[in-house]
Amino acid sequence: MTQPPQVDIEIRNVIKEFAGRGSEGSTRAVDNVSLTINRGEFFSMLGPSGCGKTTTLRMIAGFEDPTSGEILLRGKAVQNVPAFHRPVNTVFQDYALFPHLTATQNVMFGLEMEGIDKTEARKRAEEALTMMRLTSVQFNRKPRQMSGGQQQRVALARALVKRPAVLLLDEPLGALDLKLRKDMQYELISMQKDLGITFIYVTHDQEEALTMSDRIAVMNQGKVLQIGSPEEIYETPATRFVADFIGETNFLTGTVEGREGICAMIRLDESTVIKAAHSEDNLKIGEQVTVAIRPEKVNIFAAQGVVKFDDGTSRPVAQYIEGLRTDPDINLVPGRVEYANYIGTDTRYTVSFGGGNQHRLVAREQNFGLRNDTYHEVGSSIHIFWDYETARVLRQ
Ligand code: ADP
Ligand code: MG
């Protein structure tokens, strides 16, 4: 039997309100958030700017007190524990290094404050800087003599040298350019797994959260909308906001016409009914819903001629269509290509379909073969199809 995971952090019904200045009303920055973060987990809080990520992190660190609710670190309520006594450390987006101290001195500072003697502190600081792949030349540089990426490594070394149980990272890679950010993402993940320290990682970058996290909490307007693994969040978004914020999504609106198990029949217009998966126990016939479909789940093929497959084989369209029509899991719809955007690895097709071609969705096709083999001309008649389970019925 596998052991249940040990809990490092528990946030219970936490609310944070900031009093307004002058005639301003108060702001509810965090609105009844509950989360459980396991030991050794890489946990991300993801959401747009202003959704309450930093405020949540600052309450865990002890820089802010909740207006109500409770925070527990390793099972102990921390209301009355000051920030410097909590087994957590924070890495800030702006690094917050001392400008007049060298890299080594910056990392030593916290250790010396704890009463560790200079020789030992220097040794540990240099180990931490080495782990962050800084060289002895860089040890003696001051922040202004280092690049953004190097400063970030110093900030990480300074946070890790004290071996916190939990490391809080607030958009730590936000100021780095794309290439360096990607490199640092992989370094952070492997370092986190090596050290076994719990990471709580704040980001507004959905791709970063998907790449790095064991689990993600998606936030908006102070609320947690969904918590799950990257796959769960991406493949089965719980709300329209989550589906829209993470990756690209097509939304179609319609009314529920029937349901059978997890399959719902959704009428889009007089002549068009599609199937989509739902997880609502009480989905009602006649209810208006949104269907979310990812562009890469939608397949597209020309309405005439032959269909070419990536293994080099081909089949007549008429025969291919017959096969799809008899598959109960498949939605098959005729349409027309409105736009085609070539983006290197893929082509994004905007396709119209349904009664009077009134609905649109984006289908993303990988450019696996020669371009002429896979390209669909703007204005051409095509068919699109997708497995109904890849389309989700959403209520909100
Ligand atoms: P995020 O980190 O997700 O961008 P924040 O947690 O920084 O969001 O902010 C959430 C909300 O709380 C915002 O509306 C912000 O303006 C407000 N806020 C944050 N800190 C304060 C403060 N000290 N005083 C007043 N309002 C604040
Ligand atoms: Mg923030």
pLDDT digits (tens, 9 = 90+) for 228-275: 999 999 999 999 999 999 999 999 999 999 999 999 999 999 999 999
CB atoms inside a 10 Å sphere around CB 76: 12
Mutate to test the pocket of ligand 1, among 31, 54, 205 (most ligand atoms within 8 A of CB): 54
Place of tokens 């006594």: 85
> For atom 18 of ligand 1, which residue has the closest CA?
29
Read off the pLDDT of each residue in 24-52 and give the average, rounded to a whole number. 95
Phi–psi pair at 178, nearest 5 degrees: -55, -45
pLDDT value at position 371? Answer: 67
Q: Is 152 helix (H, G, I), strand (E, B) or coil?
A: helix
The ligand that comes nearest to the alpha carbon of residue 174 is: 2
Do the beta carbons of residue 86 and residue 30 sit within 8 Å? Answer: no
Q: Is the pLDDT of residue 370 over 90?
A: no
Mutate to test the pocket of ligand 1, among 21, 27, 60, 223 (most ligand atoms within 8 A of CB): 27
Q: Is the pLDDT of residue 373 over 70?
A: no
Distance 29 CA to ligand 1 centre (A): 6
Q: Is the pLDDT of residue 321 over 80?
A: yes
pLDDT value at position 22? Answer: 74
> For atom 16 of ligand 1, which residue has the closest CA?
50
pLDDT value at position 99? Answer: 94
The ligand that comes nearest to the alpha carbon of residue 52 is: 1
Distance 12 CA to ligand 2 centre (A): 21
Structure tokens at 300: 């597209």
Q: By percentage, how much of the chain surpasses pLDDT 90? A: 74
pLDDT value at position 253? Answer: 96
CB atoms inside a 10 Å sphere around CB 25: 8
Please give the distance of CA 314 from its chain centroid, rounded to a whole number. 38
Read off the pLDDT of each residue in 39-57 and give the average, rounded to a whole number. 97
Residue 171 Cα: closest atom of ligand 1: 2
pLDDT value at position 4? Answer: 75
Q: Is 248 helix (H, G, I), strand (E, B) or coil?
A: coil
Place of tokens 């990756």: 247
Q: Is the pLDDT of residue 151 over 80?
A: yes
Structure tokens at 299: 């397949």
pLDDT band at 114 (very low <50, low <70, confident <90, very high): confident
pLDDT value at position 306? Answer: 87
Read off the pLDDT of each residue in 123-136 and give the average, rounded to a whole number. 91
Do the beta carbons of residue 224 and residue 217 sit within 8 Å? Answer: yes
Look up the pTM and report it. Answer: 0.89
> For atom 15 of ligand 1, which residue has the closest CA?
50
pLDDT digits (tens, 9 = 90+) for 55-104: 999 999 999 999 999 999 999 999 889 998 899 999 988 788 999 999 99
Query: E strands of 84-195, at which residues?
Result: 88-91, 166-170
Q: What is the DSSP string of 202-216?
A: EES-HHHHHHH-SEE
Do the beta carbons of residue 138 and residue 126 sit within 8 Å? Answer: no
**What region does 237 belong to: left with phi over 0, alpha with psi -120 to 50, or beta?**
beta
Q: Is the pLDDT of residue 24 over 90?
A: no
Radius of gyration of the CA atoms of the chain, in A: 26
Read off the pLDDT of each residue in 276-280 and give the average, rounded to a whole number. 90
Mutate to test the pocket of ligand 1, among 18, 57, 59 (most ligand atoms within 8 A of CB): 18
pLDDT value at position 187? Answer: 87
Distance 238 CA to ligand 2 centre (A): 24
Do the beta carbons of residue 59 and residue 71 sit within 8 Å? Answer: yes
> For atom 27 of ligand 1, which residue has the closest CA?
18
Counting Cβ atoms within 10 Å, is residue 29 exposed (0-12), middle (13-18) or buried (19+)? buried
Please give the distance of CA 176 from its chain centroid, rounded to a whole number. 18
Do the beta carbons of residue 350 and residue 339 sit within 8 Å? Answer: yes
Q: Is 295 helix (H, G, I), strand (E, B) or coil?
A: helix
* 305: DSSP letter: S
pLDDT value at position 3? Answer: 75
Residue 30 Cα: closest atom of ligand 1: 10
Read off the pLDDT of each residue in 160-164 and give the average, rounded to a whole number. 88
Q: By percentage, how much of the chain surpasses pLDDT 70? A: 98
pLDDT value at position 183? Answer: 87
pLDDT band at 372 (very low <50, low <70, confident <90, very high): low
> For atom 13 of ligand 1, which residue has the closest CA?
50
Distance 30 CA to ligand 2 centre (A): 12
Q: Of the ranges 17-31, 205-219, 322-336, which one carries the lowest mean pLDDT score? A: 17-31
Q: Is the pLDDT of residue 340 over 90?
A: yes
* Half-sphere exposure in the Cβ direction for 240 (13 Å, CA): 10
pLDDT band at 200 (very low <50, low <70, confident <90, very high): very high
List ligand 1's pocket residues with C-beta within 6 A: 18, 27, 29, 47, 49-55
pLDDT value at position 1? Answer: 59
CA nearest neighbour of 356 among 292, 295, 270, 251: 270
